[in-house]
Amino acid sequence: MSVTLTQILKLVGKLDDTQGHETPRERFRLFLEENVQEVGQIRDYIQECLINSGDQYNRALQDLVNHLGHFLGFEVTFGRYHGVQGKVGFDGHWKSPKGSHIVVEVKTTEAYAIKTSTLDGYISELVSQREIPDRPHALGLYVIGRLDPDLRQLEDAIIAEKRTHELRIISVDSLLSLAELMNEYDINHDDILSILRPSGPMVDQVIDLMARLVAQGKAELSPEIIEEPVSAKADSEVAYWITPVKSDEEQAAEDIISSLVGREHIYAISERTPGRRRIKRGDWICFYATTNGVVAHARIVTNPERRSHPAVGDSDKYNWVFELEETQLYLDTPIVIDTSLRNRLDEFQGRDLNKSWAWFVQATRSITRHDFRVLTGQIGGLE
């Protein structure tokens, strides 16, 4: 039986900056060190932090992000939850065996103004205390739980202040993806540094990384992603799909789903979407809002056809459109793909539920009717 983050936090007590070996903070961090050994577990707990609100979850998120730093090959120093006079108030200090230092600032959301001078000041203090040898070896990294396309204040500030070589922003979902890549593919700590640090004049290292990932991806391509002609039998059978929806520069994932699925009763995919040639009228599809959960489902009523639609952002890329009916949206009550739910899915039978599982929601894929019903809350009317 899996233990939820909420249950763990109730057991350890209120997280604060009280010092000592038996404080709630130290009990929680020790639990992570001794029991959370898989990236999939961290993804579950971080997902729980982002769904819930309050200081307890915000502080747990900070510790989980720092724990994730270990998976990326860093030596991690946990920071304070609240700054106090006379103490450097960084959220995390990650030391690379290659000599680089990353000072981490964790934010649940971008809803509040973030001053870049604060993180810059932490770096300066660590340099003055000789915790970091000099500024060229340091990088400030903002890890954002929920990116808001409407709030680009932080990105704009970094660009306007010409600090792109000193400060970086990454979503917690992308940070998790980096850890999963390092855990499951032939990439190492040097590769991670080449992604996080500002690029130098040579780009060969990044291109080499991309080439290796593509090569491994092709070698491990599952049969369901290989495009094959639809047989007469398959054409007569109802198929079930799950497709991920990510936020873009204009809209959050939930807004995209609300607009396309809820109002327009359509969806659009790209030429390279796995399964594009097999998606057909009569099939059912559910929509996974990244880091949140399944928030909608519908029946497909037309085969995908190449055309543009005014409601589709980047219609040059997403130019295969199909129409939907019987759409149901539950944006405020997402169905979270946590350990308990994965245990009920056909796709995860015989798998270690704590292992990385983002592969399940990183691309459009066919699923069983049973899994579709579980992912959509076992809603009736699908017979």
Q: Which domains does the chain have, with CATH numbers?
A: 5-201 (3.40.91.30), 230-375 (3.10.590.10)
Token representation of residue 321? 């459109």
Helix%, strand%, coil% for the chain, nearest 5: 40, 20, 45
Asked whether 364 and 239 are in contact (CB, 8 A), the reply is: no
Asked whether 35 and 28 are in contact (CB, 8 A), the reply is: no
Spatial strand order in the sheet of 101-109: 75-78, 92-95, 101-109, 138-146, 167-171
Residue 312 pLDDT: 92
Angstrom distance (rounded) from CA 69 to CA 180: 12
Burial class (CB in 10 A: 0-12, 13-18, 19+), 252: buried
Stretches where the chain sits below pLDDT 50 are: 222-233, 380-383
Angstrom distance (rounded) from CA 383 to CA 380: 8
Residue 223 pLDDT: 46
Token representation of residue 379? 């809603």
Asked whether 361 and 242 are in contact (CB, 8 A), the reply is: yes
Residue 87 pLDDT: 79
Residue 232 pLDDT: 43
